[in-house]
């Protein structure tokens, strides 16, 4: 096992030295650190999330997500994706929703990155820290919150986005472990799987609500 870890570390050192893009450099260096760690971490860090386009440009694949609100209250939240070890990266392509009670969203494409998050604290912090960046567009300040708020206040009421009924803790999913961005055609730039997030009332959960997910593989 130690020999395998040493070989892996040597391999990714060479990988990091030969690739100039920031995304692949941090992945390779992280692999060095994780050469002696668990298989789950390595699966997440090595799962494909981007493609090399003609001319040497790196482009994120897209991931398809959808949301189902099974509760009797409006759900207010922010969702998106980010690379947790890329200190210079910003979570572009995030979304914000106010999903009415007992309704579902359409299918939404977001950039495929190492972590897909619904209201996770790291995602929210990254957005807040980069609001002066022109590529970050917050359209609903009241949805830029940790977790999910649930409200039954009427639309137009000052409390329409407040947690009048409770909250759900945020959730983070890891690529290669909880979902993949695998393609069924090498020419595609969008993963063909689907992540469905479901919001439910849950008396056993802190805040009275919870988020679960299902990944439907291609």
The predicted model scores a pTM of: 0.77
| Domain regions of the chain by residue span | 2-46, 62-216
> What is the mean pLDDT of the segment spanning 108-135?
94
Q: What is the pLDDT of residues 18-60, one digit of tens each?
A: 334 444 555 555 555 544 555 555 555 555 555 555 676 666 7
Q: What is the pLDDT of residues 130-159, one digit of tens each?
A: 999 999 999 999 999 999 999 999 999 999
Q: Does the pLDDT of residue 187 top 90, yes or no?
A: no
Q: Where are the beta strands (DSSP E) in 47-153?
A: 50-52, 58-60, 62-69, 74-82, 95-99, 103-104, 108-111, 115-118, 148-151
Structure tokens at 29: 């260096």
- Predicted pLDDT at 162: 98
- Predicted pLDDT at 61: 75
């Amino acid at each position: 096992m130690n020999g395998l870890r040493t070989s892996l570390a040597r391999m990714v050192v060479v990988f990091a030295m030969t690739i100039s893009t920031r995304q692949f450099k941090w992945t390779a260096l992280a692999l060095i650190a994780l050469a002696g760690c668990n298989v789950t971490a390595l699966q997440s860090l090595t799962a494909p999330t981007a493609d090399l386009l003609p001319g040497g440009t790196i482009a994120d694949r897209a991931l398809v997500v959808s949301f189902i609100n099974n509760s009797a209250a409006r759900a207010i939240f922010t969702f998106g994706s980010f690379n947790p070890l890329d200190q210079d990266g910003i979570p572009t392509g995030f979304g914000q929703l106010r999903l009415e009670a007992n309704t579902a969203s359409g299918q939404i494409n977001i950039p495929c990155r190492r972590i897909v998050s619904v209201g996770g604290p790291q995602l929210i912090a990254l957005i807040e820290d980069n609001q002066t960046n022109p590529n970050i567009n917050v359209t609903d300040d009241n949805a830029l919150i940790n977790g999910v708020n649930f409200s039954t206040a009427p639309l137009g009421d000052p409390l329409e986005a407040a947690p009048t009924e409770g909250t759900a803790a945020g959730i983070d999913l890891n690529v290669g472990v909880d979902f993949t961005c695998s393609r069924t055609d090498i020419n595609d730039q969008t993963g063909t799987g689907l992540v469905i997030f479901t919001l439910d009332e849950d008396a056993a959960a802190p805040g009275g609500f919870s988020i679960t997910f299902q990944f439907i593989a291609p």
